[in-house]
């Protein structure tokens, strides 16, 4: 049997009401899209004790469970409410960067589109890491185990019977169908499944895959992985309202995790490994607070730096969503399902190896804090619809910096959107594409008038773009996987230069995927769990000579 260490550690505060132990085999920090998966898999597949620490609270509330209400979580207590530094590239604006703060993380608050990423995304990850577990062939297998796909079967690519329920809305708003016809007339093929062969090609449009069960019920990592595991397995302890401060290193090994819970700072000792899954803004912050980061930067904040890792916080990436090209309906039409049922992938230039544009239908008027009031967009969600231009292969790179040594202070995020001229060019092409589609004859029955932006000259349109651009909510890349000096983790997501510490979340993406990032984060959780289970098995097989170990 797997040996559960019982030793205690001075200074550990144990709250008997939740049976918090002094020592856990694994401590997973952050119960989001990736962390919830790793913690669940470790608890399901071993007898090891697993502690899952989540700063947010219970996800079993209507605003999370009702898929149609996903936008109401933005700005609520279930959102970290990060903001980026003001940017000259965005007309001096300070962009909000929402991220989920609740059991399930972004998986519990997101817009429910399931987009797996392009074949070439993963081939490039495999190359960057030198690790074939990220190859497309392997990724396909992993996705097949994750998915419970309700659509047309595709045995090569899609899975059935896995934890994540995925479907296609059967009754999308009628303008979605009209947009698909307009796309076809422009040479953009409509496909039945946007996560099938389409993700190996040049682009397509269609009704999005969504994690919406009957009665508009959200399916998240919390509901599909963490809650069922909690019910079935006693070795998983989930602590809500537990704010991780730092990982305690001794001789470059992760020995303990320090976190605040119920107003007290606690320390739990770790027997095997610590997993940081706190998302692409908090993960680099916690690494730096733990002494892993750029030495000069840490010294400025009086933090000792046993592991100089200049890549921590660098390579920040996000998709850019422009709010948006808006049309007034002829007759009002309330949003349905996830209120974003139609999307397309297309290239701004045929020479690209993957689509770089992903406009999405928003089933309401969608403007920025500048363009919304300027154009008098309506609050009533049934009056207008939006085709929001989206850039999913950005060249711009930002940075997450430590603001202070205080774990309660948010880090400084220089998102650096639109700093690369190529991104501006691609988005200008995307705005043109969206306006052509929205003004196409096929869509005429749903168009009383174009509300925003209308026909503008090149220069004024660029100004509008800088006032309208925002996050697609896909922050990533700040602890990237690779083998070079700037890389933070290896192909098994182990932090370079540290024993017993992995990063498992969107931070590890060397390049953000082509499409929404929830599915790739679930994938990251699964692939990390496989790697951890393999190493767990190796260690315990040799420790028990006979190779016996617990498999629950």
Binding residues for FAD: 102, 244
Specify whether the CB–CB gap between 226 and 31 falls below 8 A.
yes
Contact by Cβ (8 Å): 66, 138: no
Gap between the Cα atoms of 253 and 270, Å rounded? 10
Cβ contacts of residue 526 below 8 Å, gap of 6+?
A: 37, 41, 142, 145, 146
Selection from 135, 137, 132 nearest residue 157 by Cα: 137
Q: Are 430 and 419 in contact (CB under 8 A)?
A: no
Q: Give the range of 49-57, 190-198, 348-356, 486-494 binding ligand FAD by CB under 6 A.
A: 49-57
Q: Considering only the stretches 88-96, 104-112, 195-203, 533-541, report the one whose residues sit in contact with ligand FAD under the rule CB under 6 A.
A: 104-112
Which listed range, 134-142, 233-241, 416-424, 516-524, lies at the site for ligand FAD (CB under 6 A)?
516-524
CB of 6 to ligand FAD, least distance (A): 25
Decide: is 343 part of the binding site for ligand FAD (CB under 6 A). no
First to last CA, the chain: 11
Residue 348 near ligand FAD by CB under 6 A: no
Q: From start to end of 199-283, where are the E strands?
A: 204-207, 212-213, 217-218, 236-240, 242-250, 253-261, 264-276
| Nearest CB to ligand FAD, comparing residues 34 and 325 | 34
Binding to ligand FAD (CB under 6 A): which residues in 380-399?
none
Number of H helices, E strands in the chain: 14, 26
Q: How many CA atoms lie within 13 A of 217 on its CB side?
A: 10
Per CB under 6 A, does 98 bind ligand FAD?
Answer: yes
Q: What are the DSSP calls for 87-126, one per residue?
A: BGGGTTB--EE--B-BTTTHHHHS--B-----HHHHHHHH
Q: What angle do CA 362, 367, 370 make, to 5 degrees?
A: 165
Q: Is 474 a catalytic residue?
A: yes
Considering only residues 111-150, where is the footprint of ligand FAD by CB under 6 A? 111-113, 115
Q: Which residues are part of a known binding site?
A: 102, 244, 472
Q: What is the DSSP letter of 369?
A: T
Annotated binding site for substrate: 472
Helix (H, G, I), strand (E, B) or coil at 206: strand
CB of 537 to ligand FAD, least distance (A): 25
Minimum Å gap between C-beta 11 and ligand FAD is 19
The residues pairing with 270 across neighbouring beta strands, listed in sequence order, are 24
Question: Can you say how many angstroms the Cα of residue 313 is from the centroid of all Cα atoms in its chain?
Answer: 16
**Least distance (Å) between residue 103 CB and ligand FAD:** 7
Rounded to a whole number of angstroms, the minimum distance from the CB of residue 156 to ligand FAD is 22
Give whichever of 90 and 112 is closer to ligand FAD, judged by the CB atom: 112
For residue 33, the minimal CB distance to ligand FAD (Å) is 3
Using CB under 6 A, which residues numbered 439 to 478 contact ligand FAD? 473-474
Which span sits near ligand FAD by CB under 6 A: 54-62, 311-319, 390-398, 483-491?
A: 54-62
- Among the listed residues 243, 245, 474, 536, the single catalytic one is 474
**Considering CB under 6 A, how many residues would be counted as binding ligand FAD?**
42
Residue 105 and residue 257 in contact, taking contact as beta carbons nearer than 8 Å = no
Select the span of 32-40, 134-142, 371-379, 410-418 touching ligand FAD (CB under 6 A). Answer: 32-40
Question: What CA–CA distance (Å, rounded) separates 368 from 388?
Answer: 11
Q: Measured from the CB atom, is 47 or 59 closer to ligand FAD? A: 59
The residues in 279-308 that bind ligand FAD, with binding defined as CB under 6 A, are 279-280, 282
Binding site for ligand FAD (CB under 6 A): 29-35, 53-56, 74, 98-101, 105-107, 109-113, 115, 242-244, 277-280, 282, 473-474, 505-506, 516-519, 521
| Residues with a known catalytic role | 474
């Amino acid at each position: 049997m797997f040996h559960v260490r019982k030793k205690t550690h001075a200074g550990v505060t144990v709250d008997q009401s939740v049976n918090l132990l002094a020592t856990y085999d694994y401590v997973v920090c952050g119960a989001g899209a990736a962390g919830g998966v790793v913690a669940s898999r470790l608890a399901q597949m071993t007898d090891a004790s697993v502690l899952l620490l989540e700063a947010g609270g219970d996800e079993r509330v209507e605003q999370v469970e009702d898929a149609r209400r996903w936008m109401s979580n933005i700005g609520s207590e279930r959102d970290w409410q990060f903001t980026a530094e003001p940017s000259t590239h965005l007309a001096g604006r300070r962009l909000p960067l929402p991220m989920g703060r609740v059991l399930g993380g972004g998986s519990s608050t997101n817009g429910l589109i399931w987009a797996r990423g392009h074949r070439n995304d993963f081939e490039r990850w495999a190359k960057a890491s030198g690790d074939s577990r990220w190859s497309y062939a392997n990724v396909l297998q992993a996705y097949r185990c994750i998915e419970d796909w309700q659509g047309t079967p595709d045995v090569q690519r899609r899975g059935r019977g896995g934890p994540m329920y995925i479907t296609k809305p059967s009754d999308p708003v009628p303008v979605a169908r009209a947009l698909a016809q307009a796309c076809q007339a422009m040479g953009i093929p409509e496909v039945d499944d946007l996560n099938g062969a389409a993700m190996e090609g040049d682009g397509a449009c269609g009704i999005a895959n969504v994690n919406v069960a009957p009665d508009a019920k959200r399916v998240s990592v919390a509901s599909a992985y963490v809650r069922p595991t909690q019910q079935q397995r006693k070795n998983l302890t989930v602590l809500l309202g537990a704010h991780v401060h730092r990982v305690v290193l001794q001789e470059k090994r992760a020995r303990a995790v320090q976190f605040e819970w119920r107003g007290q700072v606690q320390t739990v000792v770790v027997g095997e490994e610590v997993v940081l899954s706190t998302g692409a803004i908090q993960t680099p912050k916690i690494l730096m607070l733990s002494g892993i980061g750029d030495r000069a930067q840490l010294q400025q904040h009086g933090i000792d730096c046993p592991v100089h890792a200049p890549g921590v916080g660098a390579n920040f990436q996000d998709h850019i969503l422009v709010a948006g090209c808006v049309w007034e309906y002829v007759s009002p039409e309330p949003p349905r399902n996830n209120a974003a049922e139609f999307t397309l992938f297309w290239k701004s230039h045929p020479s690209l190896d993957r689509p770089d544009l992903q406009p999405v239908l928003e089933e309401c008027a969608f403007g920025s804090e500048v363009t919304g009031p300027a154009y008098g967009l309506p609050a009533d969600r049934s009056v207008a619809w939006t085709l929001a231009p989206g850039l999913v292969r950005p060249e711009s790179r930002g940075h997450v910096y430590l603001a202070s040594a205080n774990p309660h202070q948010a880090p400084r995020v220089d998102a650096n959107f639109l700093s690369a001229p190529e991104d501006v060019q691609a988005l200008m092409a995307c705005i043109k594409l969206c306006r052509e589609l929205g003004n196409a004859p096929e869509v005429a029955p749903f168009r009383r008038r174009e509300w925003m932006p209308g026909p503008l000259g090149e220069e004024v349109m660029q100004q509008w773009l800088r006032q309208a651009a925002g996050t697609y909510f896909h922050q990533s890349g700040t602890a990237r996987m690779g083998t070079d000096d700037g890389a933070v983790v290896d192909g098994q997501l182990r932090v370079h230069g540290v024993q017993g510490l992995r990063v498992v979340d969107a931070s590890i993406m060397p390049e953000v995927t082509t499409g929404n990032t929830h599915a790739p984060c679930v994938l990251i959780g699964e692939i990390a769990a496989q790697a951890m289970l393999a190493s767990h098995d190796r260690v315990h097989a040799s420790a028990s000579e006979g190779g016996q170990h617990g498999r629950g």
